Every structure is written in C-alpha cells, then in structure tokens.
Structure 1
Amino acid sequence: MEVMAKNRPSDSAGPGQRQLRVGELIRRTLSDVLNRGDIHDPDLNRMSITVGEVRMSNDLKVATIYVLPLFGQGKEEVVGLLARNKGELRRVVSKSLTLKFAPDLRFRLDETFDRMDDTRRLFEQEDVRRDLDD
C-alpha cells in the first residue's frame, strides 16, 4: 500500500515561504558583511559586491547566492574570492540565523542585468518592433 503525502508542494510550485524568508535573511546578512568589509581577505574587501538574490534548497541546507561586483568590474574574480572565503562567510551566516544546519554557500554570478540588456536590445531591433506594432 502506497502512502501519499498530502498538501506537499511540488518542486515545480516554486519556493515556499520559509525558503524565501531564510534566503532574504542570508542576502541581507551577506550584504551587510561585505559592505562593512568584515571578512579577513583584503582582495575581497576592496571590491564592492551586490548580493542580488539567495535561493534556498527545499531542505534549507544549500544557499545559492547570486552576486555582481559594482559596475560589473571583476566578474571573473568575484565568485572565486567568495568561494575562497566560504568558511568565514558561512560562520557569519550561521551566527545570524537560528537554523538547525548552517547552509552550504554556493556563489554564482548574477546575470539578470545582462539578460535585461539583451532583452532591451532585442526589442530595439527593427523587425521585432515592426512585429510588435502589428
């Protein structure tokens, strides 16, 4: 006999309220720490980094953090520097949250702005504008 889980959101339903709340708390914490330069890495502290979004796994054990350096300068470098300081950043996050487990931090480059620029350029093309006007 199979037992079905009731009222359980499917993976395609999107993140739950708790995932969103924890992700936002981590985003704010990391933004503050990076803004103040509280990490013991001069290479990281000399960069101005925007933490755009944090996506949490369903079990809250993995945080995928989307970052972008100011003006996009040092894109290639920023993810490596954050990964190099992952242990210290994870300790800071775990002190500020009351979770059973400190989430593993995974850093990714935030490409949202690049995609928005690409979309703007696409809409400026003559043939696309003509199709939209029809």
Structure 2
Amino acid sequence: MRAYIGVTASEIQEFLQSGEFDVSDAYAATPTFISSNSNLDEEEVEYILSLIAAEDAVELLGFAVGTACVLALEVPESIIEAEHELSISLSAPLQWDYVQCCFEVSADGQELTWFATQEIASNLATWLS
C-alpha cells in the first residue's frame, strides 16, 4: 500500500544510514478514505495525502534545522497493523527499500518538488543546510 510520512532532512539522513525508520502511523489511501473521496482519481488522492504529510513535516521543522520533506513508500501488507480513515498503523519499522520517492516541501507547505529515490542522497547536504 502506498503511504506517506512527513519528515525532516535530518530524519531522512538517519533513515538512509540505518536502513529503517520507526514510525507508528503513515498516511495512506485506505478503503475508507477512497470511498469517502470517490470523486477523486488515484493521482488526486495521493496528492492530498502527500500534502497532509507535508503539513506534518513543516510542523516538525519547528524543532529541527533543514528542509521539510515527504517520503512516499510502498508498505507491505505484512506490517500494516490497522487501517484508519486516512492512515495505517504499522507493526514494524519502515525499511529504506520501501521508499519510492521524496518530495521537498516548500516553506509554506503548499508546493512539493519530486525527487527519485536515487536522487535523495545527493540532495541531502542541501536539504540539511
């Protein structure tokens, strides 16, 4: 299931180095969310969820230095403990292998710039400054 988490650049650095990131919940297109938003197509659903995660990332910056980011991940069903309206609870840490892409969040949280997984490490120094 595709999921989104709001993070700081320093959290991405830790995730990249350790290979795992322990988070209890992630935003996801759960069946409840999809049925409640049946007028939206798949791309619009994913955009809304990534913006919600971006809000979290911007809030996290109040406690950290660097750039707010959103990671999009493909979470295996085996670690999904529960599905909620617009999120999933996880029973195990996320693995770096689940990461599909990264979005750099603008200062106001309204614009997302897409980066492929292989571009994350090379942009990290910029995001950390």
Q: TM-score, normalised by structure 1?
A: 0.28
Could you say which structure has the higher helix fraction? 1
Q: Which has the higher contact order (CA 8 A, sep 6+)?
A: 2
Q: Higher Cα Rg: structure 1 or 2? A: 1
Q: TM-score, normalised by structure 2?
A: 0.29
